Amino acid sequence: MKKINIGVLGVGYVGLPLTISLGKYFKTIGFDLNKERIKQLNQGIDTNNDFTKKQFKLSKKAFFTYEKKYLKKVNVYIITVPTPVTKTKKPDLTLLNKAIEIVAKYLSDNDTIIIESTVYPGYCETEIPKILKNLKKNFTLNKNFFIGYSPERINPGDKTHTINNITKIISGSNSSTVNLLKKIYGKINKNKLFKAKSIKVAEAAKVIENAQRDINIAFVNELSYLFNKMNIPVNDVIKAASTKWNFLKFYPGFVGGHCVAVDPYYLSFISNHFGFEPKFLLRARKINDYFYKHVFKLISKKLKKNSKILVMGVTFKENCPDVRNSQIPKLVELLKRKYLVHVYDPIANVAKNYSIKEKKIKKYDAIILCVKHNKFKLFGIDTLNKKLIKDGIIFDIKNMLGNYKNVIKL
Amino acid sequence: MKKINIGVLGVGYVGLPLTISLGKYFKTIGFDLNKERIKQLNQGIDTNNDFTKKQFKLSKKAFFTYEKKYLKKVNVYIITVPTPVTKTKKPDLTLLNKAIEIVAKYLSDNDTIIIESTVYPGYCETEIPKILKNLKKNFTLNKNFFIGYSPERINPGDKTHTINNITKIISGSNSSTVNLLKKIYGKINKNKLFKAKSIKVAEAAKVIENAQRDINIAFVNELSYLFNKMNIPVNDVIKAASTKWNFLKFYPGFVGGHCVAVDPYYLSFISNHFGFEPKFLLRARKINDYFYKHVFKLISKKLKKNSKILVMGVTFKENCPDVRNSQIPKLVELLKRKYLVHVYDPIANVAKNYSIKEKKIKKYDAIILCVKHNKFKLFGIDTLNKKLIKDGIIFDIKNMLGNYKNVIKL
* pLDDT tens column, A269-292: 999 999 999 999 999 999 999 999
- Domain with B80 in it: what CATH number? 3.40.50.720
Residues B139 and B10 in one domain: yes
Residues B251 and B180 in one domain: no
Residues B105 and B222 in one domain: no
User: Looking at residue A71, what is its pLDDT?
Assistant: 97
Residue A389 has pLDDT above 90, yes or no: yes
A162 belongs to a structural domain = yes
Chain B nearest-CA residue for A211: B219
Q: What is the pLDDT of residues A21-68, one digit of tens each?
A: 999 999 999 999 999 999 999 999 998 888 999 999 999 999 999 999
Amino acid symbol at A205? A
Work out whether strand B168-172 and strand B145-149 pair parallel, antiparallel, or are unpaired: antiparallel
Q: Which residues partner with A35 through β-bridges?
A: none
User: Looking at residue A358, what is its pLDDT?
Assistant: 53
The number of domains in chain B is 2
B93 belongs to a structural domain = yes
Q: Does A287 sit within 8 Å of B237, measured CB to CB?
A: no
Write out chain B residues lying below 8 Å of A225, CB-based: 276
Binned at pLDDT 50, 70 and 90, residue A209 comes out as very high
Collect all residues with Cβ–Cβ distance below 8 Å to A258 and sequence separation of at least 6: A13, A82, A84, A322, A324, A325
Q: Does A240 sit within 8 Å of B202, measured CB to CB?
A: yes
User: Looking at residue B1, what is its pLDDT?
Assistant: 59
Binned at pLDDT 50, 70 and 90, residue A360 comes out as low
Domain end position, chosen among A196, A226, A257:
A196
Residue A357 has pLDDT above 60, yes or no: no
User: Of B93, B66, B74, which is closest to residue B22 (Cα–Cα)?
Assistant: B74
Residues B191 and B222 in one domain: no
Residues B181 and B227 in one domain: no
A377 belongs to a structural domain = yes
Residues A25 and A170 in one domain: yes
Residues A227 and A184 in one domain: no
B87 belongs to a structural domain = yes
Alpha-carbon dihedral sign for residues A35, A36, A39, A42: negative
A204 belongs to a structural domain = no
- The minimum CA-CA distance between B92 and chain A, rounded to whole Å, is 21
Percent of chain A with pLDDT over 90: 88
Residues B190 and B313 in one domain: no
Average predicted confidence (pLDDT) for chain A: 94
Q: What DSSP character marks residue B350?
A: P
Q: Does B274 sit within 8 Å of A226, measured CB to CB?
A: yes
User: Looking at residue A341, what is its pLDDT?
Assistant: 92
3-state secondary structure of B354: coil
**Backbone φ/ψ region at A110: left (φ over 0), alpha (ψ -120 to 50), beta:** left
C-beta atoms surrounding B147 within 10 Å: 21
- The minimum CA-CA distance between A231 and chain B, rounded to whole Å, is 10
Chain B interface includes A271 (CB < 8 A): yes
Residues B47 and B159 in one domain: yes
Q: Which residues partner with A64 through β-bridges?
A: A30
Q: End-to-end alpha-carbon separation of chain A, Å?
A: 58
Write out chain A residues lying below 8 Å of B241, CB-based: 205-206, 208-209, 212
Residue A245 has pLDDT above 90, yes or no: yes
Contact B33, B12 (CB under 8 A): no
Ordered per-residue pLDDT tens for chain B, 410 residues: 579 999 999 999 999 999 999 999 999 999 999 999 999 999 999 988 889 999 999 999 999 999 999 999 999 999 999 999 999 999 999 999 999 999 999 999 999 999 999 999 999 999 999 999 999 988 999 999 999 999 999 988 788 999 999 999 999 999 999 999 999 999 999 999 999 999 999 999 999 999 999 999 999 999 999 999 999 999 999 999 999 999 999 999 999 888 888 999 999 999 999 999 999 999 999 999 999 999 999 999 999 999 999 999 999 999 988 888 899 999 999 999 999 999 999 888 875 455 555 556 679 999 999 999 999 999 989 999 999 999 999 999 999 999 999 999 98
Chain A nearest-CA residue for B284: A280
User: Looking at residue A406, what is its pLDDT?
Assistant: 96
Cα A198 from Cα B403, distance rounded (Å): 15
Helix axes A175-188 and A15-22, enclosed angle (nearest 10): 80
Residues B387 and B265 in one domain: yes
Contact B203, B149 (CB under 8 A): yes
Chain A interface includes B410 (CB < 8 A): no
Interface test with chain A among B161, B167, B194, B227, by most A beta carbons within 10 Å: B227
Residues B30 and B137 in one domain: yes
Rounded (10°) CA dihedral A395, A399, A405, A410? 60
User: Of B171, B109, B116, B114, which is closest to residue B142 (Cα–Cα)?
Assistant: B109
Binned at pLDDT 50, 70 and 90, residue A347 comes out as confident
Amino acid symbol at B397? I
Interface of B with A in 280-309 (CB under 8 A): 280-281, 283-284, 287
User: How many alpha carbons fall within 13 Å on the CB side of residue A64?
Assistant: 27
Cα A166 from Cα A116, distance rounded (Å): 15
Interface test with chain A among B226, B236, B288, by most A beta carbons within 10 Å: B226
B205 belongs to a structural domain = no
User: Looking at residue A354, what is its pLDDT?
Assistant: 56
B211 belongs to a structural domain = no
Cα A203 from Cα A182, distance rounded (Å): 17
User: Looking at residue B340, what is its pLDDT?
Assistant: 93
Residues B108 and B152 in one domain: yes
Catalytically active residues of A, by annotation: 259
- Note down the domain range covering A86: 5-196
Collect all residues with Cβ–Cβ distance below 8 Å to B292 and sequence separation of at least 6: B254, B327, B328, B330, B331, B334
A201 belongs to a structural domain = no
- Where do the H-state alpha helices sit in A197-278? 199-230, 234-241, 263-273
Write out chain A residues lying below 8 Å of B236, CB-based: 196-198, 201
Burial of B295 (0-12, 13-18, 19+ CB in 10 A): buried
User: Looking at residue B159, what is its pLDDT?
Assistant: 85
Q: Which residues partner with B348 through β-bridges?
A: none
Q: Which of B124, B259, B320, B370 is catalytic?
A: B259
